[in-house]
């Protein structure tokens, strides 16, 4: 293979970025490490600072304070052109008048690589993304998903130490998004690339990442593997953002070792207390960890009751909105054969998995 793979690390040390002479703090004293060969996603709501972080890795924005290292080298002051990174943009940013092959080869030819070698690498790049034989077409003769793969090929032929992907799938429809994200992940793993991926879509982040950095209001809210973030959310924000958890007020009544007895609306649950002491807490309850049963049917012993305010059939699951003594709940129920009707009274129970204690103060 002509295209070489290099995988560098990325380190942020206490990085701050302000815009408008300090009027906006986009990133506030942020530190993290991305290891070689990892795909790390920057995830968070609009305006949290993820694009700014990515653009600082690329050198398209410069840190106001702090230090940025790529592959162990301090690049804080280096312009984009002197950094070994390449970026895939949301808009693809292909040149419409150039063929697909010329687009992929462009970044090489402008840096002085001989045309024959640049084209050879470009052919190989197109092959890697499953577009062998498409080189002579114009971008307008490709589908959106194919154009995005051309953009990935164009980034790969530059043999970056770090591949940056800025919401690469947001112009594609839902089905194609799933397909292209799988392709990107497979390619990254096959080549052992370091990749930094920006998205605001939690499902996409869970699906593609080795590690997720969740940002909120210019700081890191939590980072970890997809499983850690989903199963051990550090806050209500994380539990809600990743997995749509219901946040329910509860009381931590007793601690026994690592476990705590929690009372939620008169129901007792034993959950890991995760450092929290006796007193009010919140419990993040996953929508599929709530069990509903009709009051007149074979009811469980639960004393907690609610009313169905909305029922929706989604083919493989029912989704319910429920008002209850512990607040409004969003419930996902895989039992579609005997759906509960809007207006019905229900008893509410919890399945132990899918509940996590989080602090109240946010």
Quick note: the x/- pattern for ligand ATP over 153-192, rule CB under 6 A, is ----------------------------------------
CA–CA separation, 49 and 53 (whole Å):
6
199 touching ligand ATP, by CB under 6 A: no
CB-neighbour burial class of residue 358 (10 A; exposed 0-12, middle 13-18, buried 19+): buried
Candidate ranges 18-26, 78-86, 96-104, 281-289; the one touching ligand ATP (CB under 6 A):
18-26
44 binds ligand ATP (CB under 6 A): yes
46 exposure class (CB count in 10 Å sphere: 0-12, 13-18, 19+)? exposed
Query: Using CA atoms, how far apart are residues 44 and 50, in angstroms rounded to an integer?
Result: 7
Q: Does 22 bind ligand ATP (CB under 6 A)?
A: no
Q: Which of residues 48-87 bind ligand ATP (CB under 6 A)?
A: 48-52
Told to check if 15 binds ligand ATP by CB under 6 A, we report no
Asked if 20 is part of the footprint of ligand ATP (rule: CB under 6 A), the reply reads yes
Distance CA 290, CA 166 (A): 36
CA–CA separation, 341 vs 94, rounded Å? Answer: 51
Minimum distance of ligand ATP from residue 66's CB (angstroms): 16
CA distance 133 to 131: 6
Which residue number, 64 or 293, has a Cβ lying nearer to ligand ATP? 64
Closest CB to ligand ATP: residue number: 51
Query: How many whole angstroms separate alpha carbon 305 and alpha carbon 199?
Result: 38
| The one among 37, 47, 349, 354 contacting ligand ATP by CB under 6 A | 47
Taking the complex as a whole, the smallest distance from the CB of residue 194 to ligand ATP amounts, in Å, to: 20
Angle between helices 100-109 and 115-128 (to 10 degrees): 120
Tell me how far CA of residue 46 lies from CA of 26, 215, 216, 220, 322, in angstroms: 11, 10, 9, 14, 29
Among 2, 14, 19, 258, binds ligand ATP (CB under 6 A): 19
Q: What is the x/- site pattern for ligand ATP, positions 200-219, by CB under 6 A? A: x-------------------
> Shortest Cβ distance from residue 46 to ligand ATP (Å)?
3
Min CB(218)–ligand ATP separation in Å: 7
Asked whether position 101 contacts ligand ATP by CB under 6 A, the answer is: no
Q: Smallest Cα–Cα separation from 220: which of 8, 5, 49?
A: 49
Minimum CB–partner distance for residue 89 and ligand ATP (Å)? 12
- Classify residue 268 by burial, with Cβ atoms within 10 Å: 0-12, 13-18, 19+: exposed
Chain residues binding ligand ATP by CB under 6 A are: 19-20, 24, 26, 44, 46-52, 200
């Amino acid at each position: 293979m002509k295209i070489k793979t290099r995988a560098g690390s990325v380190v942020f040390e206490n990085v701050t970025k302000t815009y408008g002479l300090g009027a906006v703090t986009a990133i506030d004293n942020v530190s993290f490490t991305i290891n070689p060969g990892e795909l790390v996603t920057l995830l968070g709501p609009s305006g949290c600072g993820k694009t700014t972080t990515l653009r600082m890795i690329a050198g398209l924005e410069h840190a106001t304070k702090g230090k940025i290292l790529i592959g162990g080298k301090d690049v804080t002051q280096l312009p984009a052109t002197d950094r070994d990174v390449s970026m895939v943009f949301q808009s693809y940013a292909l040149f419409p008048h150039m063929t697909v092959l010329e687009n992929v080869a462009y970044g090489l030819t402008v840096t002085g690589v001989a045309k024959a070698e640049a084209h050879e690498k470009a052919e190989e790049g197109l092959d890697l993304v499953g577009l062998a034989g498409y080189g002579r077409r114009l971008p307008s003769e490709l589908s959106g998903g194919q154009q995005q793969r051309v953009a990935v090929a164009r980034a790969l032929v530059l043999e970056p130490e770090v591949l940056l992907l800025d919401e690469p799938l947001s112009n594609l429809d839902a089905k194609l998004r799933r397909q292209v994200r799988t392709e990107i992940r497979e390619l990254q793993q096959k080549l052992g690339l370091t990749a930094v991926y920006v998205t605001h879509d939690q499902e996409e982040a869970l699906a593609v990442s080795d590690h997720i950095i969740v940002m909120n209001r210019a700081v890191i809210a939590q980072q970890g593997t997809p499983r850690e973030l989903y199963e051990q959310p550090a806050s209500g924000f994380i539990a809600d953002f990743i997995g749509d958890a219901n946040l329910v007020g509860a009381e931590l009544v007793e601690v026994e070792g690592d476990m705590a007895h929690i009372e939620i609306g008169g129901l007792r649950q034993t959950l890991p207390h995760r450092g929290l002491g006796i007193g009010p807490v919140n419990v993040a309850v996953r929508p599929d960890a709530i069990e509903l049963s009709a009051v007149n049917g074979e009811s469980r012993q639960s004393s907690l009751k609610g009313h169905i305010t909305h029922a929706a059939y989604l083919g493989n699951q029912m989704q319910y909105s429920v008002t209850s003594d512990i607040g409004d709940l969003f419930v996902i129920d895989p039992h579609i054969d005997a759906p509960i009707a809007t207006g019905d009274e229900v008893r509410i129970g919890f399945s132990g998995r899918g509940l996590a204690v989080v602090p109240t103060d946010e």
